Structure 1
């Protein structure tokens, strides 16, 4: 479990960057009735995730993606008490079939809510990007520890050794993150441009109201502010 410091005013990074603000340009009414599926294949309307609670919802590319796997590795380190104290729920949504949820949770140690949108209904209607776009000013995800070559080799190996040999989602689909609820209130949205364009977890948590910061480095240490 990642080490915790409380309270925190802002995230301290190598470049001392401020937490960014993003335009809230998504329409929840367009996706509230889209169906998501749990690990047993039981369907629910998307709106059930945020009607009565504030939720941080992470959309991943596909379950074979090495960068998504390492991002969820770090999501799994978030202490449950930190989420409960802030009154928020953490949710991950993929776009494969539901039978990949259980193995992916076991692989990453992720113990919070996870669902799939196999038809990519929510991805498409919210306008999440397909294909990858890289720019010089983009900040790579601090949660991805593998280089591109080694990461892709890990993904290929997992595909080969998986009981169900498939791509576990559209390989061209990009993900994103939103903070929504209770009700139809949207607090924040970010859509990834490429596999490394994840919203840093500490930023997401602070924007959602978590009064702690976590150290996800390979050699954890407490940072006082």
Structure 2
């Protein structure tokens, strides 16, 4: 019996024979933009993924119920899984930094969260209002632009691409056979 098929990814590094793709150039430009943490401190976007592999997820806004549910599921990713793989899990929103702590409290999210109030990174990466973008890794290994508000990449797909253990999201208790 064959094992599961590997995930399909959209590589956004070098295109064969064509030099660099526009996505990589846009990411370099976006890397210079600042994001704000929960206390309003400015952090260069590049600092979030420059020295450690990171999964960076952009959400539409903190009032979007599908984004809220997605972040609630991200909150279920154990910190130990991320630490074992030396990966950071980061969510970036479009709101004011004042909304980060209440949103984290509402969703139970305890990983890193930042905001891009002027939407500079969103614009540079080509995201319109109502779109999200996911990327994982020091170098971009995977990029996804949502086609609609329900088109989020499955969390386990993103975790798997970053080399992180996947999470059981079912509400059923696991039966351990001893």
Alpha-carbon offset, residue 22 of structure 1: 1.1
The CA RMSD measured in Å over matched residues stands at: 1.8
Indicate the SS of the match to 2:141.
strand
Written as runs of structure 1 = structure 2, the 5 A alignment for 1:22-37 is 22-24=10-12, 25=21, 26-27=23-24, 28-37=27-36
Written as runs of structure 1 = structure 2, the 5 A alignment for 1:180-195 is 180-181=137-138, 185-195=139-149
Indicate the SS of the match to 1:74.
helix
Indicate the SS of the match to 1:177.
strand
Q: What are structure 1's unaligned runs of at least 5 residues?
A: 1-8, 11-16, 131-171
Structure-2 residue corresponding to 1:65: 64
Contact 2:94 2:119 in 1 (8 A): yes
Q: What are structure 2's unaligned runs of at least 5 residues?
A: 13-20
Structure-1 residue corresponding to 2:133: 176
1:206 has 2:144 as partner:
no
Structure-2 residue corresponding to 1:133: none
Alpha-carbon offset, residue 220 of structure 1: 4.9
Structure-1 residue corresponding to 2:93: 94
Alpha-carbon offset, residue 125 of structure 1: 0.5
Structure-2 residue corresponding to 1:219: 172
What TM-score does the superposition give when structure 2 sets the normalisation length?
Answer: 0.85
What TM-score does the superposition give when structure 1 sets the normalisation length?
Answer: 0.68
Between the aligned partners of 1:19 and 1:205, the Cα distance in structure 2 is 11
Structure-2 residue corresponding to 1:6: none
Higher relative contact order (CA 8 A, sep 6+): 1
